[in-house]
Structure 1
Amino acid sequence: MLGIYFSGTGNSRYALEVFLGKLDKTAKIFAIEDVNIANYIKENKELVFSYSVQFSNIPKMLKDFVDRHKKLWKGKKIFVIATMGLFSGDGAGILCRLLRKYGAEIIGGLHLKMPDSIGDEKILKRSIEKNRELVKRAEKKIDNAVKCMKNGKPPQEGIGFFYHVAGFFGQRLYFYSKTKQYTNKLKIDKKKCIGCSKCVGLCPMKNLSIENHLAKAGDRCTMCYRCINICPKKAITLLGKNVIEQGTIEKYLLK
């Protein structure tokens, strides 16, 4: 069994690690950016995808990844985990439908509410205590999902007509344009940026570079929020104007 994830601040990676740690301790886990990921997919019949939902849609980078490797999915048995900060509807179902188009057999889906990674929108922020509680609930939900899997009844969250309708009317009808393509809306405050290049090294799209000792954004941002959450000077924003809070999954794990 192989685990594949696309994660901005670690939510989806962590969910996959916990899930496969309980389901199959021999399973390997890799990010979609891994240079050898196509070979790993070829070698495995059973796959588990994990990713964060964006406005009830899959990240553009993930969609392109699936499309680019469309010949690899035929005959694969796939379970999908979708993490989200608020509501998704058919967050897992969107990827399931795309994979089915390329011949995959969908085993099931799981939705997990996790700490929101959008650090530049105050309305979406929760206290550390509430985010830690979200993670604990997600861990319990994963435990129940694994038990169902082992009993031959995998959860089917996000899959089916009613989930599809909920996702469409809940968010995609209004926000689809935000995730249909890559965005050029990433902003860097030149007065704050110190040119440390941390963001450059973490960007999965290679959309950031250093020019004249300062970070510069291109037009292919996939909205993963990695750079915004690690910038030491809080110089990068996307949806909001100021960074309210920075955080990765490690911040919300109880020691």
Structure 2
Amino acid sequence: MVLYFSGTGNSRYVAKRIGREIDDEVSDLFERIRSHDNSELRSESPWVVVVPTYAWRIPHIVQEWLEHTALLGNGDIYFVMTCGGSIGNAGKYLRQLCEGKKLNYLGCMAVVMPENYLAMFDVPPREKALEVIRKSENVIEKAANLIKSHSGFPQPDITVMDRVNSGIVNDIFYPAFVHAKKFYATGACISCGKCVKLCPLNNISLETDKPVWGKNCTHCMACICNCPCEAIEYGKHSRGKNRYHCPENGSDEKEG
């Protein structure tokens, strides 16, 4: 079974591609995480968890969900992490997680996808994003073929900087930077409530027909990148910048 969490569509795209290649069920973790549903899951095929990279590790909200949810049946588990450049030493922490859950960790594969972290970086224009997605296809296919053959993912070389980024930088980054204080809605907001529905932490509510952010935030960028009117900003950094949402088919065709 392929499990995924995605804020702007990158991990969803990769999860669905892998699911088609290995002919397995694909399940979105959004509602389970949002509703704190930790009821057990069962799969007779290996588990494949596809998630974005947040500060060189898997998102904390996915880590916490996995820690509290029993994955029954097949004991093998793979991780695929979408990223803008590197996943650092994420594998160390995934191995520890799997050891605690008595699961057989078969590695983590990095898939470079278009940058989507508007809180710190610029996202690419559409043509550049599509080029990055096209280049990712070989890695996605490689991951799927290894899963189909029940082979472990190759272990990457880990640098000192990888260890630092996934360790102390991750520990500092979350409390220092991952908050919703800079999000706000402009006058272009039409009070559609889409941002409210897309927040995995129920952190957004409509007050006097405008979105208001609470204290919980995972910086998934779902609200700002999926706003139909581009009415959400993150401080000054996002002003005039492209928003990003992965096209479902990874092509130039417009989504319906």
Settle same-fold status: TM greater than 0.5: yes
- Aligned to 1:101, what secondary structure does the other structure show? helix
Can you list the C-alpha shifts for 1:105-161, whole angstroms capped at 9, x where unaligned? 11222100001112354x543333322121112111121233334445332346xxx
CA contact (8 A) 1:80 1:96 kept: no
1:48 to partner: Cα distance: 0.3
2:110 aligned residue? 111
Structure 1, unpaired ranges of 5+: none
2:133 aligned residue? 135
- Aligned to 1:129, what secondary structure does the other structure show? helix
- Aligned to 1:58, what secondary structure does the other structure show? coil
1:232 to partner: Cα distance: 3.1
Change (3 A) 1:34 1:171: closer
What RMSD over aligned residues (CA atoms) do the two structures have, in Å?
2.9
- Aligned to 1:30, what secondary structure does the other structure show? strand
Partners of 1:251 and 1:72 in 2: CA distance: 28
Partners of 2:163 and 2:72 in 1: CA distance: 25
Partners of 2:248 and 2:46 in 1: CA distance: 31
Deviates further, 125-134 or 47-56: 125-134
2:179 aligned residue? 183
Identity %: 22
Output the TM-score relative to the length of structure 1.
Answer: 0.83
1:32 aligned residue? 29
Output the TM-score relative to the length of structure 2.
Answer: 0.82
1:38 to partner: Cα distance: 5.2
Can you list the C-alpha shifts for 1:161-213, whole angstroms capped at 9, x where unaligned? x5374433246433532336962434113544332211001111111000111
CA contact (8 A) 1:59 1:179 kept: no
One-letter code aligned to 1:132: L
Partners of 1:109 and 1:175 in 2: CA distance: 18
Change (3 A) 1:5 1:239: farther
1:219 aligned residue? 215
One-letter code aligned to 1:206: N
State yes or no: 1:194 paired with 2:190: yes
Partners of 1:73 and 1:177 in 2: CA distance: 34
Higher helix residue share = 1
State yes or no: 1:169 paired with 2:164: yes
One-letter code aligned to 1:227: C
1:87 aligned residue? 86
- Aligned to 2:107, what secondary structure does the other structure show? strand
Can you list the C-alpha shifts for 1:29-78, whole angstroms capped at 9, x where unaligned? 11113449755723445210000001102212112211222x44697210
1:14 to partner: Cα distance: 0.9
Deviates further, 110-119 or 226-235: 226-235
One-letter code aligned to 2:9: G
1:102 to partner: Cα distance: 1.8
Change (3 A) 1:251 1:183: same
Change (3 A) 1:150 1:68: closer
Change (3 A) 1:145 1:190: closer
CA contact (8 A) 2:40 2:71 kept: no
